[in-house]
Amino acid sequence: MSGFVRRIPEGDNRDSMVCADCGHIAYEDPKIVVGAVVVADDSVLLCRRAIEPRQGFWTLPAGFLELRETLQEGATRETWEEAQACIKIDGILGIFSISRISQVDVMFRARFAMSPPRLAGGAESLEVGQFAWNQIPWDRIAFPSVHWALDAWHGSGTAALGAAAGNPPDDVRGVRPP
């Protein structure tokens, strides 16, 4: 940013981009990712990525939250964009911090809005499919947070959702790369 310098603003304890002329602080905030673990008949919806990063790997339908969108609206939109599936959200399954890339993932547990579900790969998906736990292509999962969300789903079963899951105890800041 032209005219901005990185420094610690008065009264703060972290550096930010600050306008050298007027002192305006351009805060750099984490990105919010929203998505859904969509479940039907003990299987989960996965999408094979058509884009980088991790093109060709499997992921949950998820993406960046847009401006003026609720978390639930974002997860529903992402599921439609990536799998052409309409869903109903049950609740928050997990909130995962990935500090190394300044990202927070909010993952919902959801179900298909109609049965049988209509599925098709969207522009960002090479293909979509439903996988039972023992059929998930674990060696081709795109991101650690997908593993974490799938583990949270498997642990929650069909019971009512309690507190949202979080990062694994051995990676509380989400610093391990995929």
Q: Which residues constitute the domain of residue 116?
A: 31-171
What averages of pLDDT result for each successive group of 10 residues across the chain (178 residues)? 87 92 91 97 96 98 96 97 97 95 96 94 97 98 97 85 82 78
CATH number at residue 161: 3.90.79.10
Instruction: Specify if 11 maps to a domain.
Output: no
Residue reference for tokens 């909010």? 106
What whole-number distance in Å separates Cα of residue 111 and Cα of residue 40?
6
Instruction: Specify if 9 maps to a domain.
Output: no
Give the pLDDT score at 177: 67
Instruction: Specify if 20 maps to a domain.
Output: no
Alpha helices in 84-123 (DSSP H): none
Instruction: Specify if 24 maps to a domain.
Output: no
Instruction: Specify if 103 maps to a domain.
Output: yes
Instruction: Specify if 79 maps to a domain.
Output: yes
Give the pLDDT score at 178: 56
Instruction: Specify if 140 maps to a domain.
Output: yes
Tally the domains of the chain: 1
Instruction: Specify if 156 maps to a domain.
Output: yes
Residue type, 82: E
Residue 145, SS3?
helix
Q: 157 CB contacts (<8 Å, ≥6 apart)?
A: none
Characterise 74 by phi-psi region: left (phi > 0), alpha (psi -120 to 50), beta (else).
alpha
Cβ(107)–Cβ(96) below 8 Å: yes
